[in-house]
Structure 1
Amino acid sequence: MADYDLVIRGGTVADGTGNGLRDLDVAVQDGKIAALGKISGQGTEEIDARGLLVTPGFVDIHTHYDGQATWDSRLQPSSWHGVTTAVMGNCGVGFAPVKVADRRRLVELMEGVEDIPGAALDEGLNWSWESFGQYLDALDARPRDMDLGAQLPHGALRVFVMGERAAKLEEATPDEVAQMRALATEAMHAGALGFSTSRTLNHRTVKGDPTPSLRASEAELLGIALGMKDAGRGVIEFISDFNTPDPETEFAMLDRLLAASGRPFSVSLAQRHTKPEGWRRLLGLVEGLAAKGHSAKAQVAPRPIGVLQGLQASRIPFSMCRSYKAIAHKTVAERLAIMRDPAFRMQLLEESHEPLRSDMAARLVDYDRMFPLGDPPDYEPPRETSLGARARREGRDPREIVYDYLIEGEGRNFIFAPFANYAAYNLDCCSEMMQSPHTLIGLGDGGAHVGLISDGSYPTYLLSHWARDRKAGRLDLSWLVKRHTLDNAGAVGLTDRGRVAEGYKADLNVIDFDKLRVEAPAMKWDLPAGGKRLLQRATGYRATIVSGSVTYRDGEPTGALPGKLVRGPQTVS
């Protein structure tokens, strides 16, 4: 008889606390870490980790698997990147609670805000729920390759209570606020990890309508926060433009909400290229909340936030041109053949000089912030490698450079176009943000923006780039592991994981750190109804372990699906 279910031998352990690396054996029994040190006993299964890095499983607190988790047991791409616990229901969007008449509205909201094909959601969602608790039950019924937690989304909650009036951004009545408060309490008791809301103009339905929570009153937000207080649990996730009328006014409201509810809070933070120093002001306001005794953090990203443009993606720099709109519905091969026609090329390039009508359209043609993504992808590309800089060197119109690049490589080329965190053409701002004690690593959006963004690979990039590959300003490996394990887990109330210590949940990664890297993204047409999504794999993960079971070996699934729905806060038992 073996002494343990699993023994990982001779690995170099980054235990999640930020302490120095140690060479240890790790023994696992009944889904938990049973012993550390020099293990003399035998395991039913053993992993030789000599020369390899052993870490806790990564905890991704900002994903959007709300639809995919109902039809798919493998939460890829995140599970390829060492994530063993994911939290979804962010940005105020999701699918519960919901009335039959409002299902289409929630699909349109998710499609618009998170770029998940509506046809895939229509086919994939079985809508076997109405209440948030019933939605959790539906999630609980499916085994998966990682643990999953869900938050109550404000958009769905508001539409459930107010119907059409929510979509029209009308103010909730006192009775409606009371209903939301009761439903928030019910959702927290059912197992929600928290509540999320959005107050940004960037979040719109696929029809262009603003997110229902955009103008929710302080009284409404307070009612929901008090519902969480009534339940005695749950975190608040908040997104805003912070420009109406000014950040200080909105943070004063947040101060009142947190003082009344006592709930932990996080807000998304990134560097805007139009206001490159503005993030410091917002982080200072978060620090001000913390100084008053509130549990307040900012979620930040470890690399630029940007879109991937290409013939396989949802957009290209010519998407607003009449000639391209006329062929946009065609297959990649068909569009590629048309775009190779010199006459079409001349016509489209002529149209591309016409005035643009929106800020979003302008983003698509910022040629000095367009970079060939490459393989392996470069997320901190030098300024001189931009397609705009290349055009100046060659004395050509940048539109021609972009056009030619798009039709090279059989239409599989991607242009990386960062629109946040890259104002100075480097990631120094990300380094500063990550090193603040008032931030969390997040914003990867796994499962979302499937035709434009592929940031679910953040966990791999966080370690490989910042601890190994960056030429200057590298960060300590053990500390980086802590940031994406113990810190994130604790921020959402999951204090039973994120650390390699006896009694903790046996969620682990065994990594060949020298070979760890992010692969180039590829478009796959594997969503329901043939929907497309960007998928990005990694190399270097020798094993990923969830609750003591090996789920992936060398990036390939083992067939084990030990992942569970996490209902509410968890502690070491």
Structure 2
Amino acid sequence: MADLLVRGGTVVDGTGAPAQRADVRITGGVITEVGPDLPGRGEEEIDATGAYVSPGFIEAHTHVDGAMWWNPELDPLPAYGITTVVFGNCGMSVAPLQESARGPVLDLFTFLEDLPLDAFHTSVPWTWERWPEYRRACEAQNTTVNVAGFVGHLTLRTTVMGAEAAWKRAATAEEIAAMAALLDESLAHGAIGMSTNVFDKDRYLNVVPTRLAEDDEFEALVDVIARHPGATLQMITRFNEPENIDADVERFARICAPRGVRGQWTAIPSTVREDYLREQTIALHRRLRESGVDFWPNVPHKPLEPFFNFERALTFQRVAAWNEWINGPADTKLAQLTDPEWRARAREDYDNRVSSSTSRLDRPESLIFAISETGAGPLDISWRAYAEQEGKHLSDALADWILANGIKSCMKGIPDEFDEPVIAELFKEAHTLTNINDSGAHLQLFCGSGENVYLLTRYARDTGLLTVEEAVHNLTGKLAGFFGLGDRGVIAPGKAGDLAIFALDEIEVRPEVKLYDNPDGSWRFSRGNSGIRATVVGGVPTVLAAEPTGARPGTMIGLSAG
């Protein structure tokens, strides 16, 4: 940790209070003074004239559990003002994890989050099975940002029950007690809560193990969370099934509310075309808050422009033949696309898929052929338009296009229109969460990292739907308060010396670029630098003059009273 004086900026302190002209002094990695015209004491100085000085931004939902080991720079997070990330989401973490359960957990983790499986085996040190050892390993692994982690319920269940049992049945009383003991130990050694998942299926279309958990299992685990002040529950519910949204969230509310446990749930939809579903979920949010349930819904704020690749992905999960093909052996893929039997099954599976309000498969007009490996094309035409032009079934048309263009080609989704005034009003409420963007996951689908800057540019600068103070509060103090990270998220004496320094007219979310830097040689999407002038972690600049410094002052953090 270091000493630093930031001079001449306009401080937006993360509480939502009006911005004010002030200097900020950091001593030993902690903010010690905030006020105008502070005298220098020989420490490093940053001139913030013409810029805002805010707390460092927090990424509320990431999957950098693996990347922190093979990409400790965690590009491009520092260049977007990020100083803290939360991982272990969606029910999956890499601790506590017995070696005997590692294979099935990593297979599920990398499938659901589109991550390179080989990298987890070759680049993660695996010097732990339980959380205390894991925390020591994370503290010794210097990163550009601070990391805070959930215990994944899927990981707990598989570690205790074994893969075969975890995927097939309810837990016994003894198994539940063992899970509770591991969770208790993890929370005592710095985990910030537990994440669970009653939404997903694995690569074989089996429901994930936590969907088999009965109420007594959840009750025992939430009892443990309740014993650790500040710890929270993260829930991935069936957010794209209108008939199940309320029931899933209310089930957890019945369990959490009597125990005083705070939770976050997915999600209030943001798109215009999902206005009917947004009304339903806003009503659910209001009902829960009015009844005293401390649940905070996730609210996305940036439209996605996802790339659909054909190397491996879960995007075709609801079309069995295509799901098997896209995740099958690369050397047989092109040949399989010519097989009449497979084609017949693919057409049938597509026609009989389960519809989803969030799926692009139900809106082939929104998917554009964007990248060709061979150059054959056509490009810049939608999947639907191409099928109609060729007079073919949608499934056959896609198969023919891939045959001509190669499996390293991509489609790109047209971004959905967001109902921005409604979203902005939700962010003005005290109990909603944003910056839920899957940083570090779905590496060949999109780059979630950097979406925080969109809240500043689109909602504050361009439309005025939020003030800068409101936008910063949503990205800093509000998130820190929810997660029990009381020592950060606000610029005040005694708080962590984590800062972002930026001018609104200098920052932008940059376009995605391909980087071939995964340990297995595969590629991922990243972004160019946002124009953030400086990012500071514990008094150490990780970005200076809008360029990364290479410093890695980050460590693992846990719950704190602040």
TM-score range, shorter chain: 0.7 to 0.9
1:493 aligns with 2:484: yes
Alignment-derived partner of residue 12 in structure 2:
14
2-side partners of 1:294 and 1:498: how far apart? 24
Aligned length: 537
One-letter identity of the residue aligned with 1:370: L
Name the CA distance, whole Å, in 2 between partners of 1:316 and 1:97.
29
Give the equivalent residue in structure 1 for 2:237.
Answer: 240
Q: In the alignment, which residue of structure 2 is the partner of 1:516?
A: 507
* 1:157–1:306 Cα change, 3 Å: farther
Q: Deviations over 1:396-435 (max 9, x none)?
A: 9898999999999xx88762355xxx3x565455435434
Aligned to 1:174: 173
Q: Distance in 1 between matches of 2:250 and 2:402?
A: 48
Once the two structures are superposed, residues 253-312 of structure 1 have per-residue CA deviations (whole angstroms, 9 ceiling, x without a partner) of 323312332121111204287854223323332333322333210122112246213578
Equivalent position to 1:31, from 29, 40, 63? 29
Aligned partner of 1:561 among 534, 539, 552: 552
**Cα pair distance change 1:152/1:395, threshold 3 Å:** closer
Q: How does 1:112-123 map to 2 (within 5 A)?
A: 112-123=111-122
Matched with 2:330 is: 329
Give 3-state SS (helix, strand or coil) of 2:457's partner: helix
Which range moves more in the overlay, 118-127 or 395-404?
Answer: 395-404
Does structure 2 retain, via aligned residues, the 8 Å contact 1:485–1:499? yes
Query: Where does the alignment leave 5 or more consecutive residues of structure 1 unmatched?
Result: 339-343, 375-385
Aligned CA-pair RMSD: 4.0
SS of structure 1 residue aligned to 2:79:
helix
CA positional deviation for 1:387: 4.8
Partner of 1:358: 353
Counterpart mapping for 1:165-564 below 5 A: 165-200=164-199, 203-241=200-238, 246-271=244-269, 276-305=275-304, 307-309=306-308, 329=330, 354=347, 356=350, 358-359=353-354, 363-364=360-361, 366-370=363-367, 387-388=381-382, 415-417=412-414, 422=416, 427-428=420-421, 430-470=423-463, 474-564=465-555
1:88 matches 2:87: yes
Which residue identity lines up with residue 191 of structure 2 in the other structure? A
1:511 CA drift (Å): 1.1
Q: Which amino acid counterpart does residue 330 of structure 2 have in structure 1?
A: H
Q: 1:37 to 1:522 in 2, by over 3 A?
A: same
Identity, % of aligned pairs? 28
SS at match of 2:491: coil
Q: Which residue of 2 aligns with 1:74?
A: 73
Counterpart residue type for residue 298 of structure 2: Q
User: In structure 2, what is the Cα distance between the partners aligned to 1:288 and 1:168?
Assistant: 34
TM-score, with structure 2 as normaliser: 0.84
| 3-state secondary structure, aligned to 2:330 | coil
State the SS of the aligned residue for 1:445.
coil
2:136 alignment partner in structure 1? 137
How far is the alpha carbon of 1:320 from its aligned partner? 7.2
CA displacement at 1:373 relative to structure 2: 8.7
Closer/same/farther in 2, CA of residues 135 and 360 from structure 1, 3 Å limit: farther
Cα distance in 1 between the residues matched to 2:65 and 2:181: 22
Conservation of the 8 A alpha-carbon contact between 1:271 and 1:429: no
Task: Determine if contact 1:371/1:416 at 8 Å carries over to the other structure.
Answer: yes
Q: Label 1:17 to 1:196 Cα distance change in 2 as closer, same or farther (>3 A).
A: same
Q: Distance in 2 between matches of 1:108 and 1:277?
A: 36
- The amino acid that maps onto 1:465 is R
Would you say the 8 A contact 2:58–2:476 is kept in 1? yes
Q: Distance in 1 between matches of 2:390 and 2:11?
A: 52
Equivalent-residue separation in structure 1 for 2:145 and 2:83 (angstroms): 5
1:197/1:213 contact within 8 Å kept: yes
Query: In 2 relative to 1, CA 83–264 (structure 1 residues): closer, same or farther, beyond 3 Å?
Result: same
For 1:174 and 1:567, how far apart are their aligned partners in 2?
Answer: 29
Residues 568 and 298 of structure 1, relative CA distance in 2, 3 Å threshold: same
- How far off its partner does 1:569 sit? 2.5
**Any unmatched runs of 5+ in structure 2?**
372-379
Structure 1 window deviating more from structure 2 (544-553 vs 258-267): it is: 258-267
Which letter does structure 1 place at the counterpart of 2:54?
Answer: T
CA distance in 2, matches of 1:216, 1:199: 9
The 3 A distance-change label for structure 1 pair 278 and 186 is same
Q: Which amino acid aligns with 2:46?
A: I
Deviates more, 1:395-404 or 1:459-468: 395-404
- Structure-2 residue corresponding to 1:341: none
**Conserved 8 A contact 2:486-2:559:** no
Matching residue's letter, 1:278: L
Provide the rounded CA distance (Å) in 2 between the counterparts of 1:43 and 1:314: 53
CA distance in 2, matches of 1:111, 1:326: 12
Partner amino acid, structure 2, of 1:460: V
Matched residue SS, 1:530: coil
